[in-house]
Amino acid sequence: MNTEVNFAGIKMKNPVTVASGTFGYGREYSQFFDLSKLGGIITKGTSLKPRDGNKPSRIYETPSGMLNSIGLQNPGVEYFITHDLPWLKTQNVAIIVNACGSTIEDYVELCKILNKTDIDGVELNLSCPNVKAGCLAFGTTYEGVKEVTSKVRKVLDKPLIVKLTPNVTDITLPAKGAEDAGADAVSLINTLLGMSININTRKPYLANNTGGLSGPCVKPVAVRMVYQVSQAVNIPVLGMGGIINGDDAIEFMLAGASAISIGAGNFIDPYTSVNTVKGIEEYMKKHNIENINDIVGKVEMN
Amino acid sequence: MPVQLHAKLIKKEQLKPDIFKFSMSAREIVDIAKPGQFIEIRVTEGIDPFLRRPISIYNMDKENGILEIIFRVQGRGTEILSRKKEEDLIDIVGPLGYGTFKLEEYKNIAILGGGIGVFPLYELAKNASKKITVNTYLGFRNKEAVLLEDEFKEVSNKLVITTDDGSYKVHGFAINELKKDLKENKIDAIFACGPLPLLKAAQNLAKETNIPCQISLEEKMGCGLGVCLGCAVEVVTGGYEHVCKQGPVFDSNKVII
C-alpha cells in the first residue's frame, strides 16, 4: 500500500497535512504524537514583522464548527527561523510556511527570506478574512492573485501554494490567477466569512464583529469548491474545510484534492490528524487501493 | 505534558440544581497536574457541540488517581456533560495551562473567590494549608448559592463567607472582608478567582497595597493548548497572552482585564 504523495514537488509520506493556524509551529501537538506520522505541517500564518492579532473575544462556537477572528497573531518570520524552524527540521516532516502580508512588498520580502531557509514550501495566504490590509484585498480576483503570486514567484524557488478564499462568486478565477502566475498548487478553502450575534446584548460575539467559519459545517462547500477548482486548473489542489477523519479526507481526494489539511478538527481531538492517516489506510485496504494517488479526482458525477 | 484519556466517572453529585461534581479516575492527569490547571472535556463523540469545554480542576486525590471537577450548567455543552452517568467514560485532555497558582515562599496567603470561581481555589487552599496560613474569603449571591463551605473550612485557618444580599453570614462583598483583615494580619499574597468585578477589585487592591496577586482568568477557548490563539488576554507590556498557555493564572499586575 502506497500513501506517499508528491504534492507540488513536496515529498510527503501521506496526503495528510495540518492547516495553518490550527497547529501552531507543531510543538504543542508533538506532546501527543510523533509529528513524522504526518505528511506535512503548514505553520501558523507568519508575517515579516510580529503581529499582535485582534482584540478578544476571538472565537465563538457555532453548530458543528466555530468562528474565529485571531487576526494573524504571530511572532514574525525571524523568530520562526531562529526558534521554531531548527526544532521543526528535526521532526522528519515536510514544513510549509503560511506566509501573510499587508502589501505586495511584504509578501515579496517575506518570501525572499523564506527562500533562503530549508523549509519545503510556502503557502501564500491571500485569503485571511480577519485582517483589514492585504490578504483579501489581493485574494478575491484573478488579477489580484496573479499580481501577488507572480511577484512572489520571481523570488521564490521553493514550491509555491496559493491559499484561496471561498468568499468570492467564482473561486476558479483566483485559482486560475495563481496558476497563470506560476504557482505550483492552490489550497482551499480558507474560512467562510460569518457572524454570530448575542441576542441579549445585541452585539456580535466576536470583538471584530465578523470572523472565519470553519469545522465540519463548511465541508460540503469546501468539497464543491475543491471539485470546481480541480476541474478548472492543471496544478494540484490541497483540499481542506471541515475534515475530521479518513472518510472526509477521501471525499476531498475524490473531489480532486491531491493532499488534504486538517484544520479546526485538531481542536476537538489532538489525534485527529494521525487518526485521519489511519482512516485513509483503512479505506485503501477496504477498497483494495494500492496507491492513494489513484483516487484523486475519481468522483463519478451523476 | 498534557495527555488525552477516557476517564471513568466514578461518582456524580448534584450540588445545586445547576451545579454538578464529577469524580473521575484519571491517574495520568492527577499525577502531574498542579493547582490552577484545567482540563478540556469533549462532551459528545459527535461534532455538535464542536469544541471541548474547559473546566478547572477542583480537587485531586493523588493517592487514588481521582480527579474532581465542579461545573455549572451554562449552555448546551455543560448540559450534555451533566447528563453523563456513573461508569461513563469522559474524554479529557489535560492538565492544561502553564500559568498555575504559585505559593513561592509565602507564609500567609489570602484566597478570594466569588460564585463558581471558588472551584479552582480549593486544590490550592488544600495544598497551602498543609504548610502555611490560609485565610479564605468567599462571596456568593445569596444563601442558596453558597457552596463548599465545609470543604473550605477544613483547608483554611480562617474562612469568611459573604453574601451580596446578606441572606447568609456576612452581608457584602468578600473583598471588603479581606481588606479589613489586611489592616490587622500580614498577608503575603492574594489568590483570586471569580467574576470580572471581583478580579478587577483584587487587581486594584494588589496595586494599592503592593501585595502580589495571582488571578485565574476565563476566556472563550478553542484548542486549550496554545495553538489557536483564541483565548487572548491583553497584557500591560503590549499585545496578548493566552489563558490556556501563559494562564489561566496570571500576575494581576501583568494583565488588562
The dihedral built from the CA positions of residue B141, B187, B124 and B205, taken in this order, carries a sign that is: positive
B40/B123 same-domain check: no
pLDDT at B185: 80
B113/B210 same-domain check: yes
Q: What is the 3-state secondary structure (H, E, C) of A10-74?
A: EEECCCEEECCCCCCCCHHHHCCCCHHHCCEEECCCECCCCECCCCCCCEEEECCEEEECCCCCE
Please list the ranges in chain A whose pLDDT falls under 50. Answer: none
DSSP B175-207: HHHHHHHHHHS---EEEEESSHHHHHHHHHHHH
Q: Give the global pTM.
A: 0.95
Q: Are A52 and B238 in contact (CB < 8 Å)?
A: yes
Q: Name which of B3, B228, B233 is nearest A56 (Cβ-Cβ).
A: B233
Q: Name which of A32, A244, A267 is nearest B228 (Cβ-Cβ).
A: A267
Tell me which residue range forms the domain holding B78.
3-96
* Of B61, B71, B73, nearest in space to B26 by CA: B61
In a domain, B181, yes or no: yes
Closest residue in B to A32 (Cα–Cα)? B3
Rounded to whole angstroms, how far apart are CA atoms B38 and B220? 14
Closest approach of chain A CAs to the CA of B173, in angstroms? 26
Do A23 and A301 touch, CB atoms closer than 8 A? no
Contacts of B4 in chain A (CB under 8 A): 32, 269-271
Contacts of B6 in chain A (CB under 8 A): none
Question: Any chain B CB within 8 A of the CB of A269?
Answer: yes
* Of A231, A218, A120, A253, nearest in space to A171 by CA: A231
Q: What ipTM was predicted for this assembly?
A: 0.94
B123/B245 same-domain check: yes
* Of B231, B228, B239, B226, nearest in space to A212 by CA: B228
The string of pLDDT tens digits covering residues A136-151 is 678 999 999 999 999 9
In a domain, B59, yes or no: yes
Domain ranges of chain A: 5-295
Closest residue in A to B50 (Cα–Cα)? A64
* Of B191, B206, B204, nearest in space to B109 by CA: B191
Instruction: Report in angstroms the alpha-carbon separations of B57 from A235, A252, B79.
Output: 50, 40, 18
Last residue of a domain, one of B96, B129, B147: B96
B146/B232 same-domain check: yes
Q: Name which of A64, A264, A269 is nearest B48 (Cβ-Cβ).
A: A64
- Spell out where chain B has E strands: 3-16, 19-25, 38-42, 53-56, 59-61, 66-72, 89-96, 108-114, 133-140, 158-163, 170-171, 189-193, 213-216, 232-235, 240-242, 249-251, 255-256
Do A223 and A188 touch, CB atoms closer than 8 A? no
In a domain, B141, yes or no: yes
B240/B116 same-domain check: yes
Last residue of a domain, one of B75, B96, B117: B96
Question: Any chain B CB within 8 A of the CB of A215?
Answer: yes
pLDDT at A133: 63
Residues in chain B, total? 257
Which chain B residues have any C-beta within 8 angstroms of a chain A C-beta? 1-4, 42, 47-52, 91, 93, 219-234, 238-240
In a domain, B101, yes or no: no
Residues 6 or more apart whose Cβ sits within 8 Å of residue B110? B135, B136, B137, B178, B181, B182, B187, B189, B190, B191
Q: Name which of B50, B227, B230 is nearest A28 (Cβ-Cβ).
A: B227
Tally: H helices and E strands in chain A: 11, 16
Instruction: Tell me the residue type at B99.
Output: G
**Per the residue annotation, which of A111, A128, A135, A217 is the catalytic one?**
A128
Instruction: Provide the 8-state DSSP code for A181.
Output: T
Looking at the domain that runs over A5-295, which CATH code has it been given?
A: 3.20.20.70
In a domain, B103, yes or no: no
Give the three cell numbers for residue A294: 489513484
Return the bridge partners of B55, or none: B39
Rounded to whole angstroms, how far apart are CA atoms A112 and A108? 6
Please list the ranges in chain B whose pLDDT falls under 70. Answer: none
Closest approach of chain A CAs to the CA of B169, in angstroms? 33
In a domain, B33, yes or no: yes
pLDDT at A131: 73
Count of structural domains within chain B? 2
CA torsion, ordered A56, A61, A65, A67, to nearest 10 deg: -30
B80/B204 same-domain check: no
Q: Which residues of B41-65 are buried (b: 16+ CB within 10 A; e: fewer)?
A: bbbeeebbbbbbbbbbbbbbeeeeb
B90/B119 same-domain check: no
**In degrees, to the nearest 5, what angle opens at C-alpha A269 toward C-alphas A217 and B97?**
120
Q: Is A135 part of the annotated catalytic residue set?
A: no
B79/B160 same-domain check: no
Q: Are A215 and B226 in contact (CB < 8 Å)?
A: no
B112/B231 same-domain check: yes
Cell 493566552 -> residue: B242
Last residue of a domain, one of B96, B121, B147: B96
Instruction: Provide the 8-state DSSP code for B86.
Output: T
Contacts of A64 in chain B (CB under 8 A): 47-48, 50
Closest approach of chain A CAs to the CA of B133, in angstroms? 37
B82/B137 same-domain check: no
B70/B155 same-domain check: no
Pairing of strands B108-114, B133-140: parallel
B145/B225 same-domain check: yes
Q: Are A270 and B4 in contact (CB < 8 Å)?
A: yes
Q: Name which of A28, A57, A61 is nearest B50 (Cβ-Cβ).
A: A61
Interface of A with B in 33-92 (CB under 8 A): 44, 52-66, 68, 70, 73
Q: Name which of A73, A216, A270 is nearest B240 (Cβ-Cβ).
A: A73
Rounded to whole angstroms, how far apart are CA atoms A230 and A224? 10
Edge-to-edge order in the sheet of strand B240-242: B240-242, B232-235, B255-256
**In degrees, to the nearest 5, what angle opens at C-alpha B243 toward C-alphas B237 and B245?**
90
Closest approach of chain B CAs to the CA of A37, in angstroms? 18
Give the three cell numbers for residue B228: 489557536
Q: How many CB atoms lie within 10 A of CB A104?
A: 16
Closest approach of chain A CAs to the CA of B135, in angstroms? 34
- CATH number assigned to the domain comprising residue B63: 2.40.30.10
Q: Are A267 and B222 in contact (CB < 8 Å)?
A: yes
How many Cβ pairs closer than 8 A exist between chain A and B? 104
